[in-house]
């Protein structure tokens, strides 16, 4: 909603057209040159239907009806004094003799704005009057079609996995001086953001750029609409899963699934400019250093203690590799986690949420900075995503780093590989949606009730193995898994009435066992043999007839016959982790 499109030619920043109504404490959109009109002012009795008039479209100024028809509200100031008049917004201009309005109760802040600042759009653009603003933000976004690498509506049930990619692309003003200026943009910073099914918690797992792994074959969409398959590469650095040989973010998503067994639903990608511009849009990000730093490589120059960084200094902070710890990428990951956690807190602060100007600039900057997959490639879909993510309280977001060890294939290791035991334990927790955060009871009551009901399905009498009748389908990634599972069930577990039904109609993330109410005893026995979690149990509503069999569909979480599908209840104690709600000083 720029000034030009409304006939304004004075260069007014659209954000500055949001003004504070002293009667209500609300920000309102003004597209003419007028400010808020107090009751009884020069235009109060015009009755012409114009903003502020006493005609039918104006209404009582105390109820906020003097704003333009169709324009939205944004949250009122919470007891802060106005910089313009030095009075509390709730009492400024109030009629004499009326009781002071009680300040509104503090509400839980829900906007997880680091997904791109899109909750700013939710607050600012809430009506048809903001259509032009919607179009502007929509036009800012860049999208990439990643085909079947991603999936799922952001509002669908179940856990949500989003891959945050920070590239080392050097395009943009001032970035050519950082070296490797011809880079196509590799996956330099990578965070798999897992949001729990009940939306009470999230785990943000950092993936080292120097991780050695296998990059699978990748189907990419070409500008002319055709597809091109880029051959996979074995024993390669994770960061070349993007950019190298024309690989797009879908290739990085597929690589994450190859490593973890976790299907990634969406990606969000930013570059050097995004760090500089987003940190500036929020008025700077607080960071803390245990010692002063002057790094000639990243150009970071900060004293010990707390500093507020933005622009070039913010970029220098997240890029520095030689200032902390052992001067390696794993230590830089900790710094980046600190920075992101601090940015989340800043974006959710009153200073940001009560400033219309900051909200507009944040939404504008964020949508310009983002490249996303086509499934979330509109402001409407990003808004839906922000609402989902906004349900997660900051204190329940845990940052972890993928457990790794030095690459044993290198005499002097400079790369890493996944730690065999600890890595799989953490991946299994994410696959099984097990929280790394202790969530308060009241926040989990509903989820716990659902889980208790689900867990009850595993309790009760069990049939004999010989009486279990099941059809097995393969919806996972292991070729021939249905056949090997049936062989194992028949030869080692005595489930002779098991049948290989080959591949499922579509791949699924989690293993499921569908059964009828009168097959519950068989289901419990098979769940025990297979090590199935309660969440895998899907009981129907009608009884089975005759020789009807249960249906076991193996998902991406299935790792082999005889390997329990259930994951560990807690993560290894010694993995690196940090809370998004707590500030820590970099050492």
Structure letter (DSSP) for residue 26: -
- The residue that leads in pLDDT, 235 or 569, is 235
Residue 131's pLDDT is 61
Is 349 strand, coil or helix? Answer: coil
**For residue 289, how far is the Cα from the chain centroid?**
27
Residue 565 lies in a domain: no
Judge whether residue 378 has pLDDT over 50.
yes
Residue 190 lies in a domain: yes
Of the three residues 405, 436, 467, the one that is the final residue of a domain is: 436
- The residue that leads in pLDDT, 19 or 216, is 216
Residue 578 lies in a domain: no
Residue 526's pLDDT is 94
Judge whether residue 37 has pLDDT over 70.
no
Mean of the per-residue pLDDT values of the chain:
76
- The residue that leads in pLDDT, 381 or 499, is 499
Query: Is 246 in the same domain as 393?
Result: yes
- The residue that leads in pLDDT, 117 or 376, is 376
Residue 571's pLDDT is 72
Query: Is 374 in the same domain as 461?
Result: no
Judge whether residue 523 has pLDDT over 80.
yes
**Distance between CA atoms of 22 and 367, rounded to whole angstroms?**
31
Q: What mean pLDDT is predicted for residues 497-521?
A: 93
Identify the band that residue 169 occupies on the pLDDT scale cut at 50, 70 and 90.
Answer: low
**Distance between CA atoms of 166 and 189, rounded to whole angstroms?**
5
Other beta carbons within 10 Å of 316: 22
> CATH number of the domain that 505 lies in?
3.30.70
Q: Which ranges of 94-159 would DSSP assign to H, the alpha helix?
A: 118-124, 131-140
Of the three residues 380, 410, 436, the one that is the final residue of a domain is: 436
Residue 530 lies in a domain: yes
Residue 509's pLDDT is 81
Judge whether residue 408 has pLDDT over 60.
yes
Of the three residues 61, 90, 107, the one that is the final residue of a domain is: 107
**Distance between CA atoms of 172 and 176, rounded to whole angstroms?**
7
Q: Which ranges of 164-286 would DSSP assign to H, the alpha helix?
A: 249-260, 272-281
Query: Is 310 in the same domain as 419?
Result: yes
- The residue that leads in pLDDT, 25 or 546, is 546
Residue 564 lies in a domain: no
Query: Is 383 in the same domain as 459?
Result: no
Query: Is 406 in the same domain as 345?
Result: yes
- The residue that leads in pLDDT, 69 or 173, is 173
Residue 275 lies in a domain: yes
Residue 319's pLDDT is 85
Residues 416-467 pLDDT 10s? 999 988 888 899 888 888 888 766 544 444 445 445 545 566 778 999 999 9
Judge whether residue 317 has pLDDT over 80.
yes
Query: Is 284 in the same domain as 399?
Result: yes
- The residue that leads in pLDDT, 45 or 445, is 445
Query: Is 119 in the same domain as 102?
Result: no
Residue 567 lies in a domain: no
Query: Is 25 in the same domain as 71?
Result: yes
Residues 207-243 pLDDT 10s? 999 999 999 999 998 888 899 999 999 999 999 999 9
Residues 462-498 pLDDT 10s? 999 999 999 999 999 899 999 999 999 999 999 999 9
Residue 10's pLDDT is 47
Identify the band that residue 183 occupies on the pLDDT scale cut at 50, 70 and 90.
Answer: low
Judge whether residue 38 has pLDDT over 50.
no
| Helix-strand-coil split of the chain, %, nearest 5 | 35, 20, 50
Residue 22's pLDDT is 53
Judge whether residue 90 has pLDDT over 70.
no
pTM above threshold 0.75: no
Range of the domain at 296: 114-436
Query: Is 211 in the same domain as 141?
Result: yes
Asked if 124 and 72 touch (Cβ cutoff 8 Å), the reply is yes
Q: How many domains does the chain have?
A: 3
Considering only CA atoms, which of 361, 389, 365 is closest in space to residue 376? 389
Residue 579's pLDDT is 79
Residues 532-542 pLDDT 10s? 888 888 999 99
Query: Is 250 in the same domain as 320?
Result: yes
Residue 568 lies in a domain: no
Residue identified by tokens 């989902």 is 388
DSSP 414-476: -SEEE-HHHHHHHHHHHHTT--SS---HHHHHHHHHHHHHHHGGG-S----GGG-EEEEEE-S
> CATH number of the domain that 266 lies in?
3.40.630.190
Residue 455's pLDDT is 55
Query: Is 119 in the same domain as 96?
Result: no
Q: Please give the structure tokens belonging to residue 423.
A: 């890595």
Judge whether residue 187 has pLDDT over 70.
yes
Identify the band that residue 248 occupies on the pLDDT scale cut at 50, 70 and 90.
Answer: very high
Judge whether residue 75 has pLDDT over 70.
no
Query: Is 248 in the same domain as 103?
Result: no
Residues 120-162 pLDDT 10s? 433 333 333 356 666 778 888 899 999 888 887 887 888 999 9
């Amino acid at each position: 909603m720029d000034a030009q499109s409304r006939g304004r030619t004075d260069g007014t920043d659209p954000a500055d057209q949001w003004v504070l109504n002293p009667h209500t404490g609300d920000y309102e959109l003004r597209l003419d040159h007028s400010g808020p009109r107090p009751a009884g002012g020069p235009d109060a009795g015009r009755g012409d239907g114009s903003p502020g008039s006493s005609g039918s479209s104006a209404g009582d100024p105390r109820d906020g009806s003097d704003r333009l028809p169709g324009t939205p509200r944004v949250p009122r100031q919470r007891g802060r004094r106005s910089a313009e008049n030095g009075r509390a917004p709730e009492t400024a201009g109030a009629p004499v003799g009326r009781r002071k309005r009680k300040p509104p109760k503090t509400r839980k802040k829900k906007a997880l704005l680091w997904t791109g600042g899109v909750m700013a759009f939710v607050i600012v653009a809430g009506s048809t009057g903001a259509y032009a603003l919607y179009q502007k933000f929509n036009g800012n976004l860049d999208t990439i079609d990643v085909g079947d690498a991603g999936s799922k509506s952001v509002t669908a049930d179940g856990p949500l996995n989003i891959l945050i990619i920070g590239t080392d692309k050097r395009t943009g003003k001032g970035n050519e001086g950082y070296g490797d200026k011809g880079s196509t943009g590799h996956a330099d910073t990578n965070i798999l953001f897992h949001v729990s099914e009940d939306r009470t918690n999230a785990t943000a797992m950092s993936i080292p750029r120097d991780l050695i792994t296998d990059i699978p074959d990748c189907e990419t969409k070409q500008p002319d609409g055709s597809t091109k398959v880029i051959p996979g590469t074995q024993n390669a650095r994770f960061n070349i899963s993007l950019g190298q040989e024309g690989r797009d973010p879908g290739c990085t998503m597929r690589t994450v699934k190859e490593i973890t067994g976790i299907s990634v639903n969406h990606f969000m990608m930013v570059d050097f400019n995004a760090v500089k511009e987003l940190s500036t849009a929020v008025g700077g990000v607080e960071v803390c250093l245990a010692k002063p730093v002057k790094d000639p490589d990243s150009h970071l120059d900060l004293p010990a203690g707390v500093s507020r960084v933005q622009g070039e200094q913010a970029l220098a902070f997240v890029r520095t590799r030689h200032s902390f710890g052992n001067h390696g990428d794993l230590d830089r990951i900790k710094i980046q986690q600190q920075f992101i956690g601090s940015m989340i807190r800043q974006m959710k602060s009153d200073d940001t949420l009560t400033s219309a100007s900051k909200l507009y600039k944040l939404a504008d900057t964020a949508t310009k900075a983002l490249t996303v997959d086509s499934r979330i490639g509109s402001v409407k879909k990003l808004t839906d995503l922000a609402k989902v993510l906004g349900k997660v309280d900051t204190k329940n977001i845990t940052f972890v780093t993928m457990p790794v060890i030095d690459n044993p294939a290198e005499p002097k290791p400079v790369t890493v590989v996944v730690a065999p035991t600890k890595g799989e334990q953490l991946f299994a927790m994410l696959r099984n949606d097990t929280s790394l955060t202790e969530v308060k009871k009241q926040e989990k009551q509903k989820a716990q009730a659902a889980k208790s009901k689900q867990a009850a399905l595993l309790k009760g009498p069990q049939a004999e193995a010989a009486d279990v009748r099941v059809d097995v389908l393969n919806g996972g990634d292991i070729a021939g898994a249905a056949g090997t599972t049936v062989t194992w069930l028949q030869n080692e577990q005595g489930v002779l009435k098991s049948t290989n039904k080959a591949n499922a109609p579509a791949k699924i993330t989690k293993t499921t066992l569908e059964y009828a109410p009168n097959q519950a005893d068989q289901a419990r026995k098979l769940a025990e043999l297979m090590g199935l979690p309660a969440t895998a149990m899907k009981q129907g509503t009608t009884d089975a007839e005759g020789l009807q069999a249960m249906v076991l569909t193996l998902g991406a979480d299935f790792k082999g016959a005889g390997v329990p599908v259930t994951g560990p209840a807690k993560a290894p104690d010694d993995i690196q982790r940090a809370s998004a709600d707590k500030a820590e000083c970099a050492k």
